[in-house]
Amino acid sequence: MSECDRNSIEEDGIRLPLLVQPVEDSKFRLVDGFKRLSWLKLVQGKSVEEYQQEQLSCLIIPAFVSLRDVAKIRLETLSADQTSFSGIHLCRVLNLLSKAGFSKNEIAFQVFPSLGLVSSVWLAGQLLDLQKKLVTYELHAESLLPESMMSMGYEDLLPLLKFSNSDFPSVVRLAEKMEVKGKKWCNLLQVLDEVARLQQTTADEILQYPEIQKILEDSNLQGPVRYRLLKQQLDALRYPELSKMRKRFDQTCKSLKLPERLTLESDQYFENDELALKIKFRSVDELREHLMNLSDTVNSENLINAWNDLFAILREE
């Protein structure tokens, strides 16, 4: 068993469906006995003395029973749902089951229901492929997988299959830097993959761009800010013409010299020629002041060209 597997069992052994401990010089295997007392004490708060007065369920299986059959017994006694396992742990468990002789169909229709997952042969194949990629990474990596990835659900890890083994270490480092999960993380990977394809290069090359490295290596940036800045950079690479239009639009808006709490907004992709006016105010007097400033801006002969330029940008095809 690898060091990573041992660590995961020590951290949360009771939840792993393949929790089998052979007894030395014995004809039996212990199932569900590993660290059970300490785990129950942790989650229920009882003392060792209290547990000594109770009977703890521990299955004892003859040694000649195969690991495959032991796994089936363990799955039948498992109380879990899809939130019980991180994606990494789920991949490792399925890999052990595959080595024990479980086919993809058996994993999909016998194992997944016990883990609270919908039966899917496609998902079984995807998770086993992901485990192979993770194993390849761990064999060559100088460090373990980051904590941010270890706690991700399997849905957040499946987009990693888009990337080659040579790109994988860079994407792992990205996960460590970004501190995001869920939809934001998946969207980020999707945009990164699209940019790499559009520019006919690799994700690793994209992440080495100076403007992107500057964002990733700035230790003063908080997670949400780093995500927003990186997403903006990737979107600019994804839609270069749109990025140029956005830059011209922002510069023209700036030339209008509107008050700080009054802003003009356009459609994100410039698909129509409408502007939205956003005003922030704390009192009627402040609102009145904003409207007077806006009236002056609209009626100023010096700014009429800026207004015309703004609508010209919106009407470009």
**For residue 136, is pLDDT > 50?**
yes
Instruction: Report the b/e string of 52-80 with b at 16+ CB within 10 A.
Output: eeeeeeeeebeeeeebeebbbbbbeebeb
CA distance 276 to 294: 13
CA dihedral 38, 43, 45, 47 (to 10 degrees): -20
DSSP codes, 181-202: -HHHHHHHHHHHHHHHHHTTS-
**For residue 16, is pLDDT > 50?**
no
Confidence of residue 18 (pLDDT cuts 50, 70, 90): very low
Neighbours of 265 (CB within 10 A): 12
Average pLDDT, the chain: 78
191-200 CB contacts, 8 Å cutoff, 24+ apart: 191/231, 191/234, 191/235, 191/238, 192/234, 193/159, 193/162, 193/163, 194/238, 195/234, 195/237, 195/238, 196/167, 198/237, 198/238, 199/237
Are residues 120 and 94 in contact, defined by beta-carbon separation less than 8 angstroms? no
CA distance 27 to 121: 36
Q: Is 278 exposed, middle or buried (0-12, 13-18, 19+ CB in 10 A)?
A: exposed
Q: What pLDDT is recorded for position 131?
A: 93
264-287: per-residue pLDDT in tens?
Answer: 888 777 777 888 888 888 999 988
**Higher-pLDDT residue of 35, 99:** 99
Q: Is 236 helix (H, G, I), strand (E, B) or coil?
A: helix
Angle at 191 between CA 189 and CA 192, to 5 degrees: 60
Mean pLDDT across 125-129 = 94
213-263: per-residue pLDDT in tens?
Answer: 999 988 888 888 889 889 888 988 888 777 778 888 888 888 888 888 888
Mean pLDDT across 31-37 = 46
178-213: per-residue pLDDT in tens?
Answer: 877 888 899 999 999 999 998 899 999 999 999 999
**For residue 44, is pLDDT > 80?**
no
